[in-house]
Amino acid sequence: MAKDTVRYPDEVVEEIDHLVEDGMFESKSEFYRFSAEYVLTLINPDHDVKTFNFDEIKTELDISEEDHAKALGTDGGTFFLDAVITVRKHGLRGDYEAAERFIDTHYDSTDQECIILEELLGTYRSSPT
């Protein structure tokens, strides 16, 4: 197991100390391991959790699937679904320039999501009105 040193603001450490004192976590190390793994599962649902008793801790913390989904956002943790909705609205209204501005200000032209949004916008341009 690797050891990593990380600095946290004093206020954050105090909150973690309170959680340990209250018995929510056995130790600060358990808190840090659980927290890191939990964030990794938010980012990547296929993340292979290595932390001992991860599911048990999650259950004890009463993190429901609904809470987990809220932490991720409506589209699994990315801005993409909201972007699709925005581009679609502009496309349906024929406001192609607004859709292009939106895409250009939120995405790099080489991003996969950018290319998909531009293709989506193209379908509205080519569809008969």
Residue range 78-88, pLDDT digits in tens:
577 788 888 99
Task: Please indicate whether residue 126 or residue 22 has the higher confidence score (pLDDT).
Answer: 22
Q: CB burial class (10 A; 0-12, 13-18, 19+) of residue 84?
A: middle
Across residues 102-107, what is the average pLDDT? 90
Three-state DSSP state, 113: helix
Domain segments of the chain: what residues? Answer: 10-72, 77-126
Given pLDDT bands bounded at 50, 70 and 90, which one contains residue 108? confident
Across the chain, mean pLDDT equals 84
Least confident of 34-38, 83-87, 98-102, 123-127: 123-127
